[in-house]
Structure 1
Amino acid sequence: MKPAENYIFNQPEPYKGILMHLQMIIESTLPEVELKFKWNIPCFYIGKSPICYLNASHKKKFVDIAFWNSAHLTKHLNVLISENRKVVRSLRYTTLDEVDNTILIDVLKDAYSVRQNGFYKREDL
């Protein structure tokens, strides 16, 4: 098993269930995505372009699916959380029932469409 898969599989519930569901949605929405293990968390790339990463925060009791190029995202900005982060925004879940697959898929497709853009927009610099 790959390190990223170990990360997901070895999480306690409810994190494990949420992470497995997110992985399934990511891989079915973006079939060419590659799961890597960087910075001790599962990261999804298409070629050299990062799309998103997963993080289980046991201390704060949620799972984040975070998008690097979120400065360029245009969909569902009202539900993306930045919380003291300059660039990265995420969808955050405390239970599997909170995952809205329609929103998640829309944001994944949006992230895919802007994957070649940098982390910042010009006006952000």
Structure 2
Amino acid sequence: MKELDNYFMQQEEPVRGCFLALHEIILAQDENLATAWKWQMPVFYYKKKMFCYLFFHKKYKLPYLALVEGRQLDHPALLAENRTRIKIMLIDPTKDLPMETIEEVLQQALALYR
């Protein structure tokens, strides 16, 4: 997990705090979620199936939560952009996290895996 910890610590505030909070929020959604370091980013797995990941959007300059099976979700907070499978949720680290929306999106996504 050293690479994962380093990734978080290398981010500048408020992005670092946002990523750390999202990490905890995601893991709190289900006991079967686990974090791994893959493709130089934090990736979350549900029972060994890739579930979501955290990354930084270069165009919008915002962190985002990417849901692997996002195409199956219909939520106004999610963007498909040019992706065919994944949808993302942009997070503004200068504002309070939209906890209710984040948890709602994560629970909808988890329902696809259960």
TM-score normalised by the chain length of structure 1? 0.81
What is the match of residue 23 of structure 2? 23
How far apart are residue 31 of structure 1 and its match? 2.7
| Paired position in structure 1 for 2:40 | 40
Q: Which has the larger radius of gyration?
A: 1
Report 1 or 2 for greater relative contact order, CA contacts < 8 Å, sequence distance ≥ 6. Answer: 1
Once the two structures are TM-superposed, the CA of residue 69 in structure 1 deviates from its matched residue by: 0.5
Identity percentage of aligned residues: 27
**How many Å apart are 1:98 and its aligned residue?**
4.8
Q: Which moved more, 1:62-71 or 1:5-14?
A: 5-14
Q: How many residues align?
A: 114
CA distance in 1, matches of 2:45, 2:86: 15
Matched residue, 1:57? 57
The 5 Å alignment of 1:32-111 reads 32-57=32-57, 60-74=60-74, 77-111=75-109
Runs of at least 4 residues of structure 1 off by over 6 A? Answer: none
Q: Deviations over 1:63-108 (max 9, x none)?
A: 010001112224xx11101122122111101225252111111111
Where 2:113 maps in the other structure, the secondary structure is: coil
CA distance in 2, matches of 1:99, 1:83: 22
Unaligned runs of 5+ in 2: none
Task: Give SS of 1:21's match.
Answer: helix
RMSD: 1.8
